[in-house]
Amino acid sequence: MTTLTLGKALNEGLRKAMDDDPKVLIMGEDVGKLGGVFRITDGLQKDFGEERVIDTPLAESGIVGTAIGLALRGYRPVVEIQFDGFVFPAVDQIITQLAKMRMRSLGKVELPVVVRIPCGGGIGAVEHHSESPEVYFTHTAGLRVVACSNPADAYSMIQQSIASPDPVVFFEPKRRYWDKADVDTETADWTPLHAARVVRPGDDVTVLSYGPAVKTCLEAAVAAGEEGRSVEVIDLRSLNPLDIETVTASVHRTGRCVVVHEAAVFSGYGAELAARITERCFYRLEAPVLRVGGFSTPYPPSRIEDHYLPDLDRILDAVDRTFGW
């Protein structure tokens, strides 16, 4: 066990993957000497060389497109998108090429590409640096989409994603990069990549979340507990596939569910959760699945982002409402 920040855990996970497999490459803007603007690739170019840790031209479509080509040649590229808001120039390559190549080839082509995206708000940044674009990818068949929320998962999930023969979009909760926790770097006996995890058991209501909002949900659960309400918090970890079994088992028990994410609620990932859970647990639900998320607006200027992001009070408010239904 070592204590690592989430950022450092990712860095160690990447290093381990590169050590284990010489085909693993890192590509992106400023990933070399700088180690990325969040230092996630810090030191890797120094140790693995410029051929394996590649500072690319400033062009996201080019980065993902050439990563696909490298994967076709047998490499396993891990692509860094510098900020969530800059993944959009690459969306065409991700949606029309990366996601569909396997089907196009009737299974003959494998594209083990990982697209890392630091996501979410709360760091006081300017426009385009606080987006939560997960739905654009969860709706795209052929991609696997995961989101880590803590250092231990960051360490294991990045390695599992790199090992995946399918392309993976990997969301990193940027405002949690500096959170610290114990990480067991000795074991590889990890929770499966696509399994959700009950991070706090409870009996009265199920709160579902992923990525940066998980921590807020845990805080809300503690606060609710002080008021005598037993909140179960599930960290989904994987958005596509969704571990619906773990989710429905919980909601079957509690009969109430609140979904929390930073992305805008309208047409967001929470909609899929609500729709699917309702189908599965129709007779068990005491209230509709409620969604707490970003408002259905563009991300606001940072001075008021705390109002946009779901916070403890808004989560508790939704929990309360499920009881008052």
Ligand X SMILES: Cc1ncc(C[n+]2csc(CCOP(=O)(O)OP(=O)(O)O)c2C)c(N)n1
Q: Kindly determine how many residues on this chain lie close enough to bind another protein according to the rule CB under 8 A.
A: 83
Binding span for another protein by CB under 8 A among 91-99, 170-178, 199-207, 219-227: 91-99
Burial class (CB in 10 A: 0-12, 13-18, 19+), 278: middle
Binding span for a copy of itself by CB under 8 A among 165-173, 174-182, 225-233, 288-296: 288-296
Establish if 89 lies at the interface with ligand X (CB under 6 A): yes
Q: Which of residues 154-183 bind another protein (CB under 8 A)?
A: 164-166
Least distance (Å) between residue 186 CB and another protein: 26
Contacts of 139 (CB under 8 A, 6+ apart): none
Mind spelling out the 3-state secondary structure of the chain? CEEEEHHHHHHHHHHHHHHHCCCEEEEECCCCCCCCCCCCCCCHHHHHCCCCEEECCCCHHHHHHHHHHHHHCCCEEEEECCCHHHCHHHHHHHHHHHCCHHHHCCCCCCCCCEEEEEECCCCCCCCCCCCCCHHHHHCCCCCEEEECCCHHHHHHHHHHHHHCCCCEEEEEEHHHCCCEEEECCCCCCCCCCCCCEEEECCCCEEEEECCCHHHHHHHHHHHHHHCCCCEEEEECCEEECCCHHHHHHHHHHHCCEEEEEEEECCCCHHHHHHHHHHHHCCCCCCCCCEEEEECCCCCCCHHHHHHHCCCHHHHHHHHHHHHCC
Least distance (Å) between residue 138 CB and a copy of itself: 4
Residue with smaller CB distance to another protein, 58 or 188: 58
If contact means CB under 5 to 8 A according to the sort of partner, which of ligand X, a copy of itself, another protein, none does residue 229 touch? none
Binding span for another protein by CB under 8 A among 8-16, 60-68, 213-221, 281-289: 60-68
7, 36, 77, 85: which one contacts a copy of itself (CB under 8 A)? 85
Q: Kindly determine how many residues on this chain lie close enough to bind ligand X according to the rule CB under 6 A.
A: 6
CA 5 – CA 152 distance, rounded (Å): 9
Binding span for ligand X by CB under 6 A among 82-90, 149-157, 163-171, 268-276: 82-90
139, 252, 284, 314: which one contacts a copy of itself (CB under 8 A)? 139
Establish if 58 lies at the interface with ligand X (CB under 6 A): yes
Residue with smaller CB distance to ligand X, 38 or 210: 38
> Which residue of this chain has its Cβ atom nearest to ligand X in the complex?
86
Contacts of 248 (CB under 8 A, 6+ apart): 277, 280, 281
Catalytic residue numbers, as ranges:
129
Tokens coding 293: 């998320």
If contact means CB under 5 to 8 A according to the sort of partner, which of ligand X, a copy of itself, another protein, none does residue 163 touch? none
Least distance (Å) between residue 216 CB and ligand X: 27
If contact means CB under 5 to 8 A according to the sort of partner, which of another protein, a copy of itself, ligand X, none does residue 222 touch? none
Contacts of 320 (CB under 8 A, 6+ apart): none
Q: Which amino acid is at 171?
A: F
Binding span for ligand X by CB under 6 A among 81-89, 179-187, 206-214, 242-250: 81-89
If contact means CB under 5 to 8 A according to the sort of partner, which of another protein, a copy of itself, ligand X, none does residue 279 touch? a copy of itself
Which residues contribute to the site for a copy of itself (CB under 8 A)?
Answer: 61, 85, 88-89, 91-92, 95-96, 99-100, 103-104, 127-128, 135-136, 138-139, 141-142, 240, 263-264, 266-272, 274-276, 278-279, 282, 287-291, 296-298, 325
Which residues contribute to the site for ligand X (CB under 6 A)?
Answer: 29, 58, 60, 82, 86, 89
